[in-house]
Structure 1
Amino acid sequence: MAQASKIVDGKKQCGKCREWRPVENFYKNSRAATGLASACKACTLVVHQTAQYHVRYRERDPEGVAAEKRRRHIKTMYGVTPEWYDAMLATQGGVCAICGQPEVVMRYGKLKLLAVDHDHVTGVSRGLLCQGCNQGIGHLGEDLERMEAAARYLETHMDADPQC
């Protein structure tokens, strides 16, 4: 495991060029033990200028980049393949398996994907839910008795006159 570079007399050794430089020559990095990036600003600049592979790749194949980003997102967030997700979405008609409505929650200006519901004990994926339904069963602890009690409670108070 790499050893964290120490700050000595206001200087730190660059992990790239190995030169000792003043701490002002390093970008801040709150995750690093020293609070500074491992490479100096000059080395960081060289890396960013010469390694613009992501920009060139994005220009060459923007659809491929978007597809790969979606694949990683679905696999990382939900633990399923995009093929499974797309098949389940088609089976459900593009709507939540509980309420039958499409997702309406936006994040960063984009419509969120339906969440993959799964059994927290077995890990088996069950279906796709909107954020409201997914959080609802989560807050009730996936406990059928609590869900039934909540339904009875709502039925009992459905026709009651509102009191102020």
Structure 2
Amino acid sequence: MDLLHIIYEMIELRSFSNLWYWISLAVLWSSASHWILGVPYDMVYRAQRKGGQAEQDLEDIARVNVNRLMYISEVSGPWLVALSCFLLSGLAMLGFVYLLEIAQAVFLLAFPMAVVGVISYFTARRIAREGATGEALRKRLAFCRLYIQFVGVISIVVTAFWGMYQNLTIGAL
């Protein structure tokens, strides 16, 4: 094997047979389930165990991130929704109508993350509306994490089955 062939194998656009795609899928979902509304989830555990300053730190970082998300949604929310819908529908068309595998792979990463964005927005809005602190805040963050993990499991299963199907059908050609 020459160097050019090795480089081509590393950046090949057949995403579902590429190890880097599956590594990025795992990193994406582990990060998504750890950073809830921009708050590392270990802070929730620490606040629950220790209280005091750890609880205050959790409330401060959650307040900052909730306010930031609410500001972004007020200022540019409709434009972000429109742009996201445009990009996702374009990826879906390229991937599943024109059968471009890289578009399928990116869509299977991006669409569930859009769902995570919606879950995060509604959680942040509820936290802001209730002015949640202490136990109520930890509960909201825990439920948000649970919903994100549920979306992640469904996404990983669907992506794995679709990837296996693609590898079996393309491998048979």
Same fold (TM > 0.5): no
- From the CA coordinates, give the structure whose radius of gyration is larger: 1
The structure carrying a bigger strand percent of its residues is: 1
- Give the TM-score of the pair, scaled to structure 1: 0.28
The structure carrying a bigger helix percent of its residues is: 2
- Give the TM-score of the pair, scaled to structure 2: 0.27
- RCO greater where, 1 or 2, for CA within 8 Å and sep 6 or more? 2
